[in-house]
Each structure stands twice: as structure tokens, then as C-alpha cells.
Amino acid sequence: MTNSDAVLVARDVTRAYHMGEEPVHAVRGVSLEITPGDYVAIVGPSGCGKSTMLNLLGGIDRPTSGALFVNGVRVDRLSDAEATRFRLHHIGFVFQRFYLMPALTAIENVELPMAEAKVARHQRLTRARELLAYVGLAARRDHRPTQLSGGEQQRVAIARALANKPSIILADEPTGELDAKTGQEMIKLLAGVNGDGTTIVVVTHDEDLARAARRVVHMRDGLVVDDRRQDAP
């Protein structure tokens, strides 16, 4: 039974690929529903399939079988161009390695998805400034990624993810490259983003980050082995 309110729905999703000659079953029949405004942490040991699951939910990978719905749209059946367009407007990504465009300044990195969405220059400049202020980097907007610390780069990446006002943020190990103090700041920032109504799904090994989520999904060997709600910290 599918919750009609769910923003993310996975139905018996599998993902298999080959590593050399060996077939790898990264996800083996996962079903999941995530409701709007939820904060979900997917945890589990390395190689359990959690990043693959996140990529599937974000439409940057396709399941071998099963069905994936995001905001009611079956994303696994979208063409490449449709999926790209869908991601632009509905999903924000945050990666462990930040992956900012090194040639662009912080504000230009935030503008990039808006430019692609054909937001007028004046509007996107205003929003980019607001977002950088929101993540605490108003004073660093004209700096390039190489002039920013890891924490600052990840903040810019979060601002970029929020640029087109997506309903969902998918974050893959967002604190993985940060020191403990900066990681805590990032956890607070993500909690704030979630508090503003954005659904967040994080894949993490970071126990503190997992504790910040309202729901924790445990995966092992490509399967969900535990899925429970927890009290907000």
C-alpha cells in the first residue's frame, strides 16, 4: 500500500551491475516510502547499497527492476533529458566531496542550477545572495572553491542544492570530508533546512548525523534490515 502523500517511493527496487566479470547486487528488493518534510538517514556498513539507493532515489541511476516515484512521477521511466530536467527542479544533491565548479565563485556555483532553469539574472542573483546568507557565507560569495575551507565548500554545495527550491535534498556522506566541529555545523544546517520544510535523505556513517534524523533506515547486503523512527535530538 502506497502512502499517496509520499514524496519518495521505492517499490521492490533492485540494482545489479558488473564489477569486471562479477555481478554485484547492490540493492536487492528495497521498498521505501518517505513523506514530505521527513528527515531520513540511511545507514549501514560500506558496500551495503545505501549510496546506490540514494542515487536511485535521485534519478542519477536506474534500477534493474522495481519502480521509483518522486513527487508522484515515476522517475525510472523518464528519458535521460526528462530525468535531468526533473532533477533540476525537484531534487537537490549534496556530495561528500562537495563537487563545486572550481572555475566559478561561490555565488556563481549557487546560480548555476538557476541559470539552467532559466531564472532571470536579477532574480537568481538575489536568491543566490539569500542562500549564501542562509548558509552563513554572505561574506564569501565572491570566493572560489579553492579559497574556501571544506566546511564552507559544503555550505555552498547546500546553497546550490537549494537553489531551485527542490522539495527533496539527497546528501551522500555530507560530513564525510569534514572535521568534527565543522561536521556539527553541517548537521545543524541540514536540520535547519529540514525545519524549513525540505525533505532530507542522507546516507551517512556519521552517528551524530544519523541521530539528527527523525527516521533511520539500516541497510545490509542490499536490503533494508531495520527502519525506525527516532525522537528528534
List residues binding other proteins (CB under 8 A): 17, 51-52, 55, 58, 60-61, 80-81, 84-85, 87-89, 91-93, 95-97, 99, 101-104, 108, 111-113, 115-117, 160-161, 164
- Taking the complex as a whole, how short is the minimal distance between the CB of residue 106 and other proteins, in angstroms? 14
- Taking the complex as a whole, how short is the minimal distance between the CB of residue 213 and other proteins, in angstroms? 22
Q: Which is nearer to other proteins, 144 or 211 (CB)?
A: 144
- Taking the complex as a whole, how short is the minimal distance between the CB of residue 98 and other proteins, in angstroms? 9
- Taking the complex as a whole, how short is the minimal distance between the CB of residue 91 and other proteins, in angstroms? 8
Q: Which is nearer to other proteins, 53 or 191 (CB)?
A: 53
Q: Which is nearer to other proteins, 34 or 170 (CB)?
A: 170
CB 36 within 8 A of CB 7: yes
Report CA dihedral (147, 152, 158, 159) to the nearest 10 degrees. Answer: -70
Q: Which is nearer to other proteins, 55 or 194 (CB)?
A: 55
- Taking the complex as a whole, how short is the minimal distance between the CB of residue 102 and other proteins, in angstroms? 7
Q: Which is nearer to other proteins, 67 or 214 (CB)?
A: 67
Rounded Cα–Cα distance for residues 110 and 138 (Å):
12
- Taking the complex as a whole, how short is the minimal distance between the CB of residue 110 and other proteins, in angstroms? 11
Q: Which is nearer to other proteins, 49 or 212 (CB)?
A: 49
